[in-house]
Structure 1
Amino acid sequence: MSSSKAIELNNFSIGLPKKMMYGNGKEINTGISKQTIEEAFLTKNGFQGDGVGDLKNHGGLDRAVCIYPYEHYFLWEKELGNPLPPPTFGENLTVTNMLEKDVCVGDIFQLGESIIQVTQGRIPCSTITKRTNHPSLLKRMVQTGFTGYLCRVLEEGIVRKDSKTILLESHPNKVSILYGNEIYFHKQKDIEGIKRLLAVEELADEWKEPLVNRLNKLTAL
């Protein structure tokens, strides 16, 4: 991560899955609707009092913490024409100065008393469009690579809304989340790019498996 500016925690949120109404009277069980809190204990599985509705596509040790850059809110509000208060994207941490272009897979951060490690870009899901009622938003997040990202917990501890987030260790491979998103979503036949991503041992298994499969198909031709 190259930015030397201090990281700011703009919003800290958790929430357990609950029913959310969307569209024409439909409902879904989701953990996207989180509430801003003062403090929570971060375990290897995520924050106590936090949860996901769809265990297949969310959660797990490699996806214990969800982070979204605050700067993108201004872009989306401008594009969509209405305010989007954090945590619209269901993130735990809304942060300034931790953009996808600057944060790399494997980077390690101190977060309050805990230590976290970046594992993968977030794969946005349709719940975001259901929540915001903007069908184009999901597509735009993927197009721009402004997806946010996920982390595993290396050391458990208490996190408070005024906790400092400090970069402890930059990963030597320097594979940014934005680069990873580009390979994962857009350059799906870029053999060198896939190899570069897979060379980062700390990459989440949920990304490793499809990328290995993709690489095998491409190199078997």
Structure 2
Amino acid sequence: MADTILLRSIQIGSPRVFHDAEKQKDWTSAIIKHAIDGPVRVGLTNLDGDQQSDLVHHGGRDKAVLAYPHDHYSIWADEFPQIDWQDGAFGENLTLAGVNGADVCVGDIFEVGTCVLQISQPRQPCWKLSKRWGIPKLAVRVQQTRMTGWYLRVLEQGEIEAGQKMTLTERLHPEFTIDFANEVMFAKPRRREDDRRLAACPELSDSWRETLDR
């Protein structure tokens, strides 16, 4: 576990309509977010001022807050130098320093500000991330590299502010790191025993448990 997790920045956004010139079709997403200063209220399903356009696949109790490691952006900059990768580029609410997917686990509980947050699942990148940056293979590369980030549920509502530290207070499942969960979900061929083990984790999000059960 990293000694210190720093909350570098906080981002929020609202749904916008984009036009796909190739398919002559509009699509909607809140993936473009802007950084905010000062304290931000964290509710049970989102941060104040943050919205999701697709409430089937985003938001809700298990996906209230999206976090992404800042350290990954230097790796993406090497692979895709045409993009100026900045905090929030992946549509995350929290950009974190000093941590990656090997350092944190499903079920980990953190205190930050006056909030208590718990990791619920890795992020599963969708096509909208690729569309956002005009890189058709980006979502696939995120899956292949396992540099997905993760979602958090809110156990206690409160306020957070950029510059604060996240403190791990409880680790329930040290065997289920974010990296391991990604390896299980994206495994080809499927590893049934790992599917069953991870699906049995009560702190894993309902959607991931249902997928692994199938």
TM exceeding 0.5: yes
Q: Which amino acid aligns with 2:27?
A: I
- Equivalent position SS for 1:178: helix
- Taking the aligned partners of 1:11 and 1:21, their CA distance within structure 2 comes to 29
**Superposed displacement of residue 22, structure 1:** 4.9
Aligned to 1:133: 134
Query: Is residue 66 from structure 1 mapped to residue 66 from structure 2 by the alignment?
Result: yes
Which moves more between the two structures, 60-69 or 160-169?
160-169
Q: Which has the higher helix share?
A: 1
Q: Which amino acid aligns with 1:59?
A: G
- Taking the aligned partners of 1:16 and 1:163, their CA distance within structure 2 comes to 24
Gapped regions of structure 1 (runs ≥ 5): 214-221
- Taking the aligned partners of 2:151 and 2:61, their CA distance within structure 1 comes to 10
Within 5 A, what are the aligned runs for 1:1-221? Answer: 2-4=1-3, 6-24=4-22, 26-38=25-37, 39-82=39-82, 83-187=84-188, 189-213=190-214
Q: Is the 8 A contact 2:105 2:173 kept in 1?
A: no
Question: Judging changes above 3 Å, is the alpha-carbon distance between structure 1 residues 194 and 76 closer, same or farther for their aligned structure 2 residues?
Answer: same
**Superposed displacement of residue 20, structure 1:** 3.2
Q: Is the 8 A contact 1:175 1:196 kept in 2?
A: no
- Taking the aligned partners of 1:138 and 1:15, their CA distance within structure 2 comes to 20
How many residue pairs match? The answer is 211
- Taking the aligned partners of 1:69 and 1:77, their CA distance within structure 2 comes to 14
Q: Which amino acid aligns with 2:55?
A: L
- Equivalent position SS for 1:207: helix
- Deviations 1:136-184 (CA, angstroms, capped at 9, x unpaired): 2111100011111101000000111122211111124430111111111
- Equivalent position SS for 1:68: strand
Q: Is the 8 A contact 1:22 1:131 kept in 2?
A: no
Q: TM-score, normalised by structure 2?
A: 0.93
Q: Which amino acid aligns with 1:10?
A: R
Q: Is the 8 A contact 2:181 2:198 kept in 1?
A: yes
| Identical residues among aligned pairs (%) | 36
Q: Is the 8 A contact 1:10 1:96 kept in 2?
A: yes
Q: Is the 8 A contact 1:65 1:151 kept in 2?
A: yes
- Taking the aligned partners of 2:20 and 2:41, their CA distance within structure 1 comes to 31
Q: Which amino acid aligns with 1:27?
A: D
Q: Which amino acid aligns with 1:60?
A: G
- Deviations 1:39-82 (CA, angstroms, capped at 9, x unpaired): 31001111011111111111110000000111110011110113
- Deviations 1:115-137 (CA, angstroms, capped at 9, x unpaired): 00000010101111111111121
Across the aligned residues of Structure 1 and Structure 2, the Cα RMSD in angstroms comes to 1.5
Gapped regions of structure 2 (runs ≥ 5): none
